[in-house]
Amino acid sequence: MSCTASDILRRIRTDEELMLAVRAGDLAAFEHLVVRHQSSAWNAAYRFLGDAAEAEDLAQEAFLKILDAAPRYQPTAKFRTYLYRVVTRLCLDSVQKKKPFYTENVPNLPADDLSPLDILSSEEMGRRIREALDQLPPKQRMTIILRYYQGLGYAEIASAMETTAKAVERLLARARSALETILGELLE
């Protein structure tokens, strides 16, 4: 019996279906979730913390918390939102332990077609943005990360941060205003 592409697509389970399987004790389903979302969890944590090793630890801790809570899981929101809620809580908790360092760029190799001047200019811009974001209150910083770097909508951010969409809108407005002031010279 041959499999068509539509047969394969029908068998690909959603995140929520995988999490329900995890709730039933299926650790292979959990492995699929981790593989599917580990880079996003790490990316959000890294952008907030600025430390690759710490971000990896935090992402692992987030998945362990999700696994631990699996018996109580109810698919009331997208799994991705649930994951970002856990990552957000852990990041905000880390603020109370120490002052985080935000970074604009995930480490990568420079493109071959960029000149040394372009690379320096980009690095300087990234450094200034990091410094500006470090000056924001933690909730505003996390809102910026979830919106502009992780691509979440207002409702997803609200759910992840356990607040309302209106509060997210206000946090983003205050953060953008503060960033405009801090980065004023870059915008000119």
CA distance 165 to 20: 27
CA distance 7 to 12: 9
CATH of the domain at 118: 1.20.140.160
Helix (H, G, I), strand (E, B), or coil: what is residue 128?
helix
State the average pLDDT over residues 145-164: 91
Determine what percent of the chain is predicted with pLDDT higher than 70: 79
Q: Is residue 6 part of a domain?
A: no
Q: Is residue 148 part of a domain?
A: yes
Q: Is residue 27 part of a domain?
A: yes
Q: Is residue 114 part of a domain?
A: yes
Q: What pLDDT was estimated at residue 25?
A: 93
Give the contacts of 1 (CB within 8 A, at least 6 positions apart): none
Quickly state the pLDDT bin for 102 (edges 50, 70, 90).
low
Which contacts qualify for 27-33: CB closer than 8 Å, 24 or more apart? 30/63, 30/67, 30/70, 33/63, 33/66, 33/79
CA distance 175 to 142: 10
Q: Is residue 2 part of a domain?
A: no
Cβ proximity of 45 and 5 under 8 Å: no
CA distance 121 to 139: 29
Q: Is residue 8 part of a domain?
A: no
| pLDDT of 123 above 80 | no
CA distance 143 to 138: 9
Q: Which of 12-16, 102-106, 118-122, 149-153 has the lowest mean pLDDT?
A: 102-106
Across the chain, mean pLDDT equals 83
Q: What pLDDT was estimated at residue 109?
A: 44
Q: Is residue 183 part of a domain?
A: yes
Split into its structural domains, the chain has a count of 1
Q: What pLDDT was estimated at residue 51?
A: 86
Q: Is residue 5 part of a domain?
A: no
Structural domain that includes position 66: 13-187
18-61 pLDDT, tens per residue? 999 999 999 999 999 999 999 999 999 998 988 899 999 999 99
State the average pLDDT over residues 62-69: 96
